[in-house]
């Protein structure tokens, strides 16, 4: 283990490079929580694309949200730069950040960018098993010197609430093998409506929500609005995708339908949830499976 965090001067600046990907951004927040618990005096900046900055807005563990630009990073003058993104551009930015301490995982490309090479999470945690993405990033903070603590839930901050008594449904995903069929979601939504929960379908600007027009839909909303919607929801049902991680951050009861992805790595983190799968792929998941799981989640809720 390195003890870099113990040795940084008071009020030092730490830059976290996490450029994109909704789920990855959400699952970075437990690591930020651990960092600030260990050193509340540090000034922490997250470098992230503008379309994902809403994930970090309002988070008390983040002092600045910066665009992923080398000039902005250098002007921030970090004492420690931690690359959680892992791509070629982020490696070069870490190298050129001007930080005396530059950390990245040992499996990242361009290892010359780092003078602190973070080992496998299993080695840090002392457990040879499949680790969740939240554990993977949090383990870096332990290796850098933060005291070992229970890894917390992801942290999102809503500015207000939007309604109540609704179930948020995310029926789209980035790939067909991660997308359950529309008629299945419609059947589940009808069941929820009959049981007294208003289904609300959410999607991005390029998502096709036309199959769900019989229900309330919210499309291309800013992340701040989605956070407000989720913060007051009673239930989340959806595919394995970024909004599922947002829902987990608010502690919602959840039903998440998985295809080929490993729920041990990408499942809901620290909330009451059920993962639904089927032999042969996501299209073989039955409506009755999802409805039964939703009923169990409402009992817990």
| Tokens of residue 208, six digits | 């096709």
* CATH classification of the domain holding 284: 3.40.50.2000
Q: What angle do CA 203, 190, 219 make, to 5 degrees?
A: 15
Report the chain's C-alpha Rg in angstroms: 20
Asked, for residue 294, whether it belongs to a domain, the answer is: yes
pLDDT, tens digit only, all 301 positions of the chain: 789 999 999 999 999 999 999 999 999 999 999 999 999 999 999 999 999 999 999 999 999 999 999 999 999 999 999 999 999 999 999 999 999 999 999 999 999 999 999 999 999 999 999 999 999 999 999 999 999 999 999 999 999 988 788 999 999 999 999 999 999 999 999 999 999 999 999 999 999 999 999 999 999 999 999 999 999 999 999 999 999 999 999 999 999 999 999 999 999 999 999 999 999 999 999 999 999 999 998 755 4
CA atoms within 13 A on the CB side of 236: 33
Do 21 and 126 sit in the same domain of this protein?
Answer: yes
Within 10 angstroms of residue 267's Cβ, the number of other Cβ atoms is 21
Do 56 and 134 sit in the same domain of this protein?
Answer: yes
Do 229 and 279 sit in the same domain of this protein?
Answer: yes
Asked, for residue 68, whether it belongs to a domain, the answer is: yes
Which run of H or of E encompasses 91? helix 88-95
Do 181 and 293 sit in the same domain of this protein?
Answer: yes
pTM: 0.96
Do 44 and 174 sit in the same domain of this protein?
Answer: no
Do 139 and 194 sit in the same domain of this protein?
Answer: no
Asked, for residue 151, whether it belongs to a domain, the answer is: no
Q: Domain span at residue 98?
A: 4-144
Do 117 and 174 sit in the same domain of this protein?
Answer: no
Do 120 and 208 sit in the same domain of this protein?
Answer: no
d(CA 166, CA 163): 7
Do 40 and 135 sit in the same domain of this protein?
Answer: yes
């Amino acid at each position: 283990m390195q003890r870099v965090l113990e040795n940084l001067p008071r009020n030092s600046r730490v830059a976290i490079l996490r450029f994109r990907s909704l789920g990855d951004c959400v699952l970075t927040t437990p690591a930020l929580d651990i960092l600030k618990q260990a050193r509340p005096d540090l000034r922490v900046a997250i470098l992230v694309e503008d379309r994902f900055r809403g994930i970090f807005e309002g988070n008390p563990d983040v002092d600045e949200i910066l665009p992923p630009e080398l000039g902005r990073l250098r002007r921030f003058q970090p004492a420690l730069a931690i690359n959680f993104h892992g791509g070629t551009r982020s490696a070069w930015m870490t190298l050129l950040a001007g930080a005396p301490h530059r950390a990245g995982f040992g499996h990242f490309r361009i290892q010359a960018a780092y003078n602190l090479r973070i080992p496998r999470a299993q080695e840090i945690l002392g457990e040879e098993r499949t680790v969740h993405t939240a554990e993977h990033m949090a383990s870096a903070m332990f290796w850098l010197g933060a005291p070992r603590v229970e890894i917390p839930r992801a942290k999102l901050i809503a500015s207000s609430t939007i309604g109540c008594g609704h179930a948020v449904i995310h029926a789209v995903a980035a790939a067909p093998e991660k997308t359950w069929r529309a008629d299945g979601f419609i059947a589940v939504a009808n069941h929820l409506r009959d049981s007294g929960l208003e289904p609300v379908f959410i999607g991005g600007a390029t998502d096709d929500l036309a199959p769900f027009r019989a229900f309330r839909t919210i499309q291309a909303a800013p992340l701040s609005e989605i956070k407000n919607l989720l913060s007051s929801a009673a239930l989340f049902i959806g595919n394995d995708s970024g909004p599922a991680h947002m829902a987990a951050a608010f502690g919602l009861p959840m039903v998440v339908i998985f295809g080929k992805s490993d729920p041990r790595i990408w499942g809901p983190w620290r909330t009451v949830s059920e993962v639904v799968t089927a032999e042969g792929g996501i299209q073989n998941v039955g409506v009755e499976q999802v409805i039964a799981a939703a009923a169990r989640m409402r009992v817990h809720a």
